[in-house]
A and B are shown apart, each in its own frame.
Chain A
Amino acid sequence: LSKGHQKRNLAIHEYLSMELLNQYGVNTPKGGVARTPQEAFEVAKKLGTEDAVIKAQVLAGGRGKGVFESGLKGGVRPIFSPTEAEKFAKQMLGHKLITKQTGSAGKICNSVYIVERKFVRREYYFAILQDRKTQGPVIVASSQGGVDIESVAAENPDAILTLGVDINVGLKKDDALSLAEKLGFSPKIRDEAADMMQKLYKLFIDKDCTQVEINPMAESVEHEVLCMDAKLNFDDNSEFRQKDIFALRDTSQEDPREVAAAKYNLNYIGLEGRIGLNGAGLAMSTMDIIKLHGGEPANFLDVGGGATAEQVTEAFKIISSDPQVTAILVNIFGGIMRCDIIAQGIIQATSQLSLTIPVIVRLQGTEVNAAKKLIAESGLRIISVDDLDEAASKSVQLSKIVDIAREANIRVSFELPI
């Protein structure tokens, strides 16, 4: 446990992003969402085309190369009839899709998006984000869309164009036209492309997006400009004024422990690629120090400022529900948060859960002496350490003892010296 803070920035399903684009007058291929194989049949039929694509609605990248638990390979597949739509929907819906980004646990697919397949002659990359360096909105675009844009950026930096936008002025038509020209949109459709860029910028601002990524923005063989795919992220801080957007959050796509933690106003940080966004300085440094001592952190749970004993208990429940955990290290520097409150929570949790794994507690700051007294008098197997280095080192040592015991298939219990 440690005190920290983390932002994820809301992501919503592809079909919802496309609907939002349409609301802003942005052209996309026609499509519809389906939650049952029968619905998939009907959506495909309504589309009335022989060339369509079925896309698993899972919030992770790499869907195309992913594999379903059911054995089906590929989360994005071309389909040629409503019957095929129904057939694939059956193998996708209710099954987990495992991609490079989901990790081995995969993510559940509860809906599919069936969309007409448009044949394109040119693909562009277009994104808008709030940029730290220039401290404002920036457009990032390239004439080499549709492929791994980061490789493009690495191998051919000239292929990436950036345009800063003054937030008080917005994206002017002239600037959008100039960008469209630089990107290589043909004169016939330049105006349409520029208009689309302005509409995307308006969406970006109206909905408090942190990022709008269109890859590809395409010119179809019929010379239309369309957004073929959209990844939208929304500023978590704007939830209070974007209730409609945040109602679209799909918790089935999130780590269940994160969802459980969030209910108690706690931030759960799972280890597969969650840390590395903003904040959580003490959490990250606690992990650093455990690794320095040769240990492997399994997960982290951040307790916010002003935590109650109940919250600490819930936090313990969530952390110890992970069978891999062999020791728990609590690292709290109490400023406004009082150490004795944390201690109460730890004592409550340890006795309620009958924890057999060692709990090492390193508390510093406000009311630390009261906290240590409570822990000592509790009679529970909670080890109190003042120094962070020592706390990390002890956690690693004790967790090794538990590991060895588990391997030997024996139980080990810890006694504190009197």
Chain B
Amino acid sequence: MISSNSYNDTFKNLRINKDTRVICQGFTGKQGTFHSQQAIEYGTKLVGGVSPKKGGITHLGLPVFNTVAEAARELKPDASVIYVPPNFAATAIIDAIHAEIPLVVTITEGIPQQDMVKVVKVLKSQNKTRLIGPNCPGIIAPGGCKIGIMPGHIHKVGKVGIVSRSGTLTYEAVNQTTQVNLGQTLCVGIGGDPFNGTNFIDCLKVFLEDEDTKGIILIGEIGGSAEEEAAEFLKEHNLTRSQPKPVVSFIAGLTAPPGRRMGHAGAIIAGGKGTAGDKITALENAGVVVSRSPARLGITLREEMEKAGLA
């Protein structure tokens, strides 16, 4: 009998490092090829890929398989990165789950919501595979393993864990923490889709448990309640530590005008929550320092870490 928390436990699979072996689904496509080259240049241990009907050839000097199942059997990868187009991506994710690949990172944007609802059901009924995304820039352990489309050169090995809903804002946070000489341990872009595999809390669990991570940056935005839930989690698990880890956050959309509403059901379900103001209050109550400017994340975290004697 699988317990209902079993998918949650797979958050440990987020801990990638220089030894993480990665395969690429959609390997021979334009995106797959370009980003695989970039990954190899960065030093990621890419070991092969999947491209239906092209099994048996080599691509970028690596073996290509027809299916994820075959690739998994032969290569025993720790992770798979998916660059498959949106009309086939959900199937690709499910294939990877069936092959029990420990970490699946789906970069693809534009997967129909309904398809992802079905994927999430499969995901949550098992405890071997952790999904990040879809519609996300990926995950990177600087100096070790880059799985995704982020520009490697702005990263620096260091002490900060970064988790973000927004792709390009992640790069701002990375750039700033590199410039103030903090560097990063692990950066996760969880993506902007409403139905996805990993949320803030999953990443915060990793950051709190990881000894090398001394500070945390969380980037959220208006809509949904992920930030409020993260705040609750931090209250319970970070503030109660003998030495809470400094957390700095930015919530995009504070000054955005109210969104155009298409029908009321969504608003009813949200119960009036989800504004930037609500999120900021919730996070501040959990001891998080919320920067009002996206340009001051690095500096603010540096200050907090110096105060705590961690930088």
A residues whose Cβ falls under 8 Å from a Cβ of B: 2-5, 9, 11, 61, 101, 127-133, 135-138, 140, 149-150, 153-154, 160, 162, 166-168, 205, 208, 210-211, 213, 215, 231, 233, 235, 237-238, 240-241, 271-279, 281-282, 284-289, 291-292, 305, 333-336, 364-366, 387-389, 392
Q: Does B252 contact A (CB under 8 A)?
A: yes
Q: How far is the CB of A270 from chain B (nearest CB, A)?
A: 10
Give per-residue flags for B251-268: 1 if the beta carbon is below 8 A from chain A beta carbons, else 0: 011111111111111111
- With beta carbons under 8 angstroms apart, the residue of B151, B153, B258 that contacts A276 is B258
Can you name 16 extra interface pairs (CB under 8 A) apart from A149-B264, A211-B265, A233-B262? Answer: A127-B264, A140-B265, A140-B269, A153-B271, A168-B118, A235-B112, A278-B192, A281-B164, A285-B172, A288-B252, A288-B253, A335-B168, A335-B171, A336-B149, A365-B171, A366-B151
- With beta carbons under 8 angstroms apart, the residue of A133, A237, A272, A287 that contacts B111 is A237
Q: Is the CB of B296 within 8 A of A389?
A: yes
**Chain B binding surface SS class:** loop
Q: Pick the most buried of B120, B175, B295: most chain A CB atoms within 10 A of its CB.
A: B295
Q: Enumerate chain A residues within 8 angstroms of B253, measured Cβ to Cβ.
A: 275-276, 284-285, 288
Q: Enumerate chain B residues within 8 angstroms of A9, measured Cβ to Cβ.
A: 262
Closest to B35 in A: A336
Q: How far is the CB of A309 from chain B (nearest CB, A)?
A: 19
* Residues B161-180 near A (CB distance < 8 A): 164-169, 171-172, 175
Q: Does B137 contact A (CB under 8 A)?
A: yes
Contacts A131-B269, A208-B113, A240-B86 given; does A387 touch B295 at CB 8 Å: yes
Q: Is the CB of A233 within 8 A of B263?
A: yes
Q: Is the CB of A276 within 8 A of B259?
A: yes
Q: Enumerate chain B residues within 8 angstroms of A392, measured Cβ to Cβ.
A: 295
- With beta carbons under 8 angstroms apart, the residue of A61, A231, A275 that contacts B257 is A275
Q: Does B194 contact A (CB under 8 A)?
A: yes
Bound complex: CA A235 to CA B116 (Å): 12
Q: Enumerate chain B residues within 8 angstroms of A128, measured Cβ to Cβ.
A: 265
Q: Enumerate chain B residues within 8 angstroms of A101, measured Cβ to Cβ.
A: 260-261
Give per-residue flags for B281-300: 1 if the beta carbon is below 8 A from chain A beta carbons, else 0: 00000000000111110000
Q: Is the CB of A2 within 8 A of B168?
A: yes
Bound complex: CA A271 to CA B260 (Å): 10
Contacts A237-B112, A274-B260 given; does A130 touch B171 at CB 8 Å: no
Contacts A241-B112, A336-B149 given; does A11 touch B262 at CB 8 Å: yes
Give per-residue flags for B114-155: 1 if the beta carbon is below 8 A from chain A beta carbons, else 0: 100110110010000000000101000000000001110110
Bound complex: CA A138 to CA B118 (Å): 14
Q: Is the CB of A135 within 8 A of B195?
A: yes
Q: Enumerate chain B residues within 8 angstroms of A275, measured Cβ to Cβ.
A: 253, 256-257, 259
Closest to A275 in B: B256
Q: Is the CB of B137 within 8 A of A335?
A: yes
Q: Enumerate chain A residues within 8 angstroms of B269, measured Cβ to Cβ.
A: 129, 131, 133, 138, 140, 162
Q: Is the CB of B263 within 8 A of A231?
A: yes
Q: Is the CB of A281 within 8 A of B268?
A: no
Q: Does B222 contact A (CB under 8 A)?
A: yes
Closest to B271 in A: A153
Contacts A237-B113, A291-B255, A336-B149 given; does A279 touch B192 at CB 8 Å: yes
Q: Does B56 contact A (CB under 8 A)?
A: no
Q: Enumerate chain A residues within 8 angstroms of B295, measured Cβ to Cβ.
A: 289, 387-389, 392
Bound complex: CA A73 to CA B180 (Å): 60
Bound complex: CA A355 to CA B169 (Å): 29
Bound complex: CA A292 to CA B291 (Å): 12
Q: How far is the CB of A391 from chain B (nearest CB, A)?
A: 9
* Residues B202-220 near A (CB distance < 8 A): 219
Bound complex: CA A337 to CA B236 (Å): 40
Give per-residue flags for B81-110: 1 if the beta carbon is below 8 A from chain A beta carbons, else 0: 000001100000000000000000000011
Closest to B166 in A: A281
Q: Pick the most buried of B225, B259, B262: most chain A CB atoms within 10 A of its CB.
A: B262
Q: Is the CB of B221 within 8 A of A130?
A: no
Bound complex: CA A235 to CA B111 (Å): 10
Bound complex: CA A22 to CA B269 (Å): 28
Closest to B87 in A: A240
8 contacts between A and B (CB under 8 A): A129-B269, A132-B194, A135-B121, A237-B111, A278-B193, A282-B172, A285-B250, A335-B137
- With beta carbons under 8 angstroms apart, the residue of A3, A131, A285, A333 that contacts B252 is A285
Q: Enumerate chain B residues within 8 angstroms of A131, measured Cβ to Cβ.
A: 269
Q: Is the CB of B117 within 8 A of A130?
A: yes
Q: How far is the CB of A89 from chain B (nearest CB, A)?
A: 27
Q: Does B223 contact A (CB under 8 A)?
A: yes
Q: How far is the CB of B237 from chain A (nearest CB, A)?
A: 21
Q: Enumerate chain A residues within 8 angstroms of B268, measured Cβ to Cβ.
A: 140, 149-150, 153, 160
Bound complex: CA A365 to CA B195 (Å): 30
Q: How far is the CB of B32 from chain A (nearest CB, A)?
A: 13
Bound complex: CA A295 to CA B117 (Å): 41
Q: How far is the CB of A159 from chain B (nearest CB, A)?
A: 11
Closest to A269 in B: B256
Q: Is the CB of A272 within 8 A of B257?
A: yes
